């Protein structure tokens, strides 16, 4: 009986109703705790609404109009491509300038080597007339012998025409008044025809001696033409200087070729001196030959004078290299103009010298002929 009394309350505790309350109570406790937790932030927000509002910091643009996020002080600025990539316009301009300078320097180096090779060679035709390229040339000798043979054969025809002029001088208005004036011209003409190459050699040797008397001559400002520089204006000035030097080289080469042509045609040119009808061709040949040969001496004088004046007037500072190059261009242009300046006035002086030489030679031959005739008559 006592045992039943103890079991009965236990059964009452574990009855179905009590089991329901056992499940409901823990759920109710959990609900209350969750509601308290959710109500805490709301209360904190309500308290903050009544307090002083906190100012919001807004990024201010920099002086250049860019955001501070793009600045170098901001850790995120390194992510901006404009901070570590170069400006495309500046980059393109630098690349174009370097390519242009390199291209122009390659041209200038080639021209410098060409002009330097000509001036340093044994066939330097800028400051002298090389014998190997003129009267000592085998080609010039061969062609001169051919032309001399033609001129010797034409002497017969010239003598016949000279005799016809003497006979018909009154009708033709010939300057020859008697046969004694024709014979010395025929003899002197034949002598000049067969010795024309030697006379041409004498004129060229005199020109070379005059040029060598001036001392060693080079192109003015030549030492500044190979200066290594990256400045575009210096490279362009050097290129203009070298192009002008190349034009001078071409002009001197043309002069040498013209000297050879005049040496080869000297027998025909001197043969034309005998007759009055062809005397103008002889004057043209002689004027051209002497002006072409001796114009080099005048050009060398201009180069020597220009180089000396540049040394005296131009300071030896590093920034004076550009000025020296421009002065060198001016001297080279003047040297290129000298042949055209002399062409209009050289003929008068050379014509007088030529007339004086021919007149003295004719008188000498006439005197010898007259003396021989007097001795024969005696």
pLDDT tens readout for residues 107-134: 777 777 778 777 777 788 888 999 999 9
- pLDDT of 93 over the 50 cut: yes
Highest average pLDDT, of 29-33, 87-91, 192-196, 303-307, comes from 192-196
- Note the pLDDT of residue 248: 92
Q: How far apart, in Å, are the Cα atoms of 260 and each of 78, 134, 137, 197?
A: 76, 6, 9, 10
Contact call for residues 263 and 178 (beta carbons, < 8 A): no
Give the residue among 276, 280, 232, 290 at the shortest CA–CA distance from 108. Answer: 232
**In the predicted structure, residue 91 carries a pLDDT above the cut 90:** no
- The answer to whether residue 6 scores a pLDDT higher than 60 is no
Residue 37 CB burial class (10 angstroms; 0-12, 13-18, ≥19): exposed
pLDDT at 172: 60
Q: Are 204 and 129 in contact (CB under 8 A)?
A: yes
* Residue 87 pLDDT grade (very low, low, confident, very high; cuts 50, 70, 90): low
Taking each helix axis as running N to C, give the angle between helix 279-313 and helix 321-343, from 0 to 180 degrees, rounded to the nearest 10.
160
pLDDT value of residue 81:
57
CA distance 87 to 90: 5
How much of the chain, in percent, has pLDDT values that exceed 90? 28
DSSP state letter for 54:
P
Output the average pLDDT for the chain: 73
Residue 240 has pLDDT above 80, yes or no: yes
Is residue 292 pLDDT above 50, yes or no? yes
| 152-191 pLDDT tens trace | 999 999 888 888 777 776 666 655 556 677 888 889 999 9
pLDDT for 135 equals 93
Contacts (Cβ under 8 Å, ≥6 apart) of 194: 148, 152, 267
Residue 252: predicted pLDDT: 93
Q: At residue 3, does pLDDT exceed 70?
A: no
Q: How confident is the model at residue 136 (pLDDT cuts 50, 70, 90)?
A: very high
Q: Are 146 and 197 in contact (CB under 8 A)?
A: no
Q: What is the pLDDT of residue 34?
A: 55
Residue 354 has pLDDT above 60, yes or no: no
Judged against a pLDDT cut of 70, whether residue 369 lies above it is answered with no
Spatial CB neighbours of 370, under 8 Å, sequence gap ≥ 6: 180
Q: Has residue 59 got a pLDDT over 70? A: no
Query: Does residue 68 surpass a pLDDT of 50?
Result: no
Kindly calculate the radius of gyration of the chain based on its CA atoms and give it in whole angstroms: 53
Provide the 3-class DSSP secondary structure of residue 125.
Answer: coil
Packing angle of the helix pair 232-264, 196-213 (nearest 10 deg): 150
| Residues 90, 96, 98, 100, Cα dihedral to 10° | -150
Q: Which tokens in the block code for residue 156?
A: 């017969």
What mean pLDDT is predicted for residues 37-44?
Answer: 49
pLDDT at 294: 94
Average pLDDT in the 131-155 region?
Answer: 94
Q: Which pLDDT value is given to residue 47?
A: 46
Predicted local confidence at residue 79, as pLDDT: 54
Q: Above 50 in pLDDT, residue 281?
A: yes
So what's the pLDDT on residue 209? Answer: 95
Cα 262 to chain centroid, rounded: 32
> Mean per-residue pLDDT for 42-64?
47
Q: What is the C-alpha separation between 320 and 303, in angstroms, rounded? A: 20
Question: Model confidence over 312-331: pLDDT tens digits?
Answer: 766 555 556 777 888 888 89
323: left (phi over 0), alpha (psi -120 to 50) or beta: alpha
Q: CA distances (Å), 209 to each of 300, 354, 364, in order?
A: 12, 21, 30
Domain boundaries, the chain: 92-370
Say whether pLDDT at 249 is over 80.
yes
Residue, of 67 and 83, whose pLDDT is higher: 83
Of residues 297 and 111, the one with the higher pLDDT is: 297
Residues 332-339, mean pLDDT to the nearest whole number: 92
């Amino acid at each position: 009986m006592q045992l039943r009394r103890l079991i009965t309350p236990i059964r009452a505790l574990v009855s179905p109703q009590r089991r329901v309350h056992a499940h409901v109570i823990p759920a109710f406790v959990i609900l209350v705790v969750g509601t308290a937790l959710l109500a805490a932030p709301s209360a904190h927000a309500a308290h903050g609404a009544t307090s002083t509002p906190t100012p919001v910091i807004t990024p201010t643009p920099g002086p250049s109009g860019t955001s501070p996020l793009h600045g170098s002080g901001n850790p995120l600025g390194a992510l901006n491509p404009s901070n570590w990539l170069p400006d495309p316009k500046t980059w393109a301009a630098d690349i174009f300038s370097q390519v242009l300078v390199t291209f122009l320097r390659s041209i200038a180096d080639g021209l410098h080597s060409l002009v330097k090779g000509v001036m340093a060679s044994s066939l330097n035709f800028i400051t002298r007339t090389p014998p190997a390229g003129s009267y000592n040339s085998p080609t010039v000798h061969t062609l001169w012998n051919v032309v001399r043979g033609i001129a010797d054969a034409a002497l017969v025809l010239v003598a016949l025409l000279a005799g016809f002029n003497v006979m018909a001088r009154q009708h033709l208005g010939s300057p020859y008044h008697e046969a004694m004036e024709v014979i010395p011209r025929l003899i002197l003409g034949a002598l000049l025809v067969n010795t024309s190459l030697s006379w041409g050699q004498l004129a060229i040797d005199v020109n070379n001696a005059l040029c060598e008397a001036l001392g060693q001559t080079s192109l003015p400002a030549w030492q500044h033409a190979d200066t290594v520089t990256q400045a575009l204006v210096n490279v362009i000035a050097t290129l203009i200087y070298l192009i002008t030097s190349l034009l001078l080289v071409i002009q001197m080469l043309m002069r040498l070729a013209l000297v050879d042509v005049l040496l080869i045609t000297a027998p025909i040119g001197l043969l034309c001196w005998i007759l009055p009808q062809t005397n103008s061709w002889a004057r043209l040949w002689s004027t051209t030959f002497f002006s072409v040969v001796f114009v080099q001496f005048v050009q060398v004088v201009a180069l020597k004078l220009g180089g000396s004046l540049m040394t005296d007037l131009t300071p030896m500072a590093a920034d004076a290299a550009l000025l020296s190059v421009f002065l060198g261009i001016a001297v080279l242009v003047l040297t290129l103009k000298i042949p055209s300046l002399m062409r209009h006035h050289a003929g008068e002086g050379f014509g007088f010298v030529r007339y004086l030489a021919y007149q003295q030679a004719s008188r000498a031959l006439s005197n010898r002929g007259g003396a021989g005739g007097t001795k024969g008559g005696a």
